[in-house]
Amino acid sequence: YQPSVQNVSFELNKGEILGVAGLVGSKRTELLETIFGIAGHSEGEIILHGKKVENTDSRRAIKNGFALLTEERRSTGIFGQLDIKFNTIIANIDGYSKFGILDNKKMTEDTKWTIDSMKVKTPSQKTAIRSLSGGNQQKVIIGRWLLTNPEILLLDEPTRGIDVGAKYEIYQLIIDLANKGKGVIVVSSEMPELLGICDRILVMSNGKVAGVGEPDKLSQEDIMTMAAKYI
Task: Write down which residue in 95, 127, 149 finishes a domain.
Answer: 149
Which pLDDT does position 2 carry in this prediction? Answer: 58
Q: What distance in Å separates the CA atoms of residue 52 and residue 68, rounded to the nearest whole number?
A: 19
With respect to residue 89, please indicate whether it lies within any of the assigned structural domains: yes
Do 118 and 163 lie in one domain? The reply is no
Task: Write down which residue in 149, 183, 210 finishes a domain.
Answer: 149
With respect to residue 73, please indicate whether it lies within any of the assigned structural domains: no
Per-residue confidence at 1, pLDDT binned at 50, 70, 90?
A: very low
Report pLDDT digits (tens) over 24-81: 999 999 999 999 999 877 788 999 999 999 999 999 999 999 999 998 877 778 999 9
Do 39 and 102 lie in one domain? The reply is no
Q: What distance in Å separates the CA atoms of residue 134 and residue 73, rounded to the nearest whole number?
A: 9
Do 129 and 173 lie in one domain? The reply is no
DSSP structural state of residue 131: G
Q: What distance in Å separates the CA atoms of residue 183 and residue 185, rounded to the nearest whole number?
A: 7
Do 47 and 157 lie in one domain? The reply is yes
DSSP helix/strand/coil, 166? helix
- Please compute the mean of the pLDDT values over residues 176-189 and round it to a whole number: 98
Do 117 and 156 lie in one domain? The reply is no
Which pLDDT does position 156 carry in this prediction? Answer: 97
Ranges of beta strands (E only) in the chain are 17-21, 46-48, 51-53, 66-69, 97-98, 101-102, 152-156, 183-187, 200-205, 208-213
Residue range(s) defining the domain that contains residue 11: 1-65+150-231
Do 215 and 158 lie in one domain? The reply is yes
With respect to residue 70, please indicate whether it lies within any of the assigned structural domains: no
pTM for the whole thing?
0.94
Do 144 and 162 lie in one domain? The reply is no
Report pLDDT digits (tens) over 114-154: 999 999 999 999 999 999 999 999 999 999 999 999 999 99
| Burial of residue 210 (number of CB atoms within 10 Å: 0-12, 13-18, 19+) | buried
- Domain count of the fold of the chain: 2
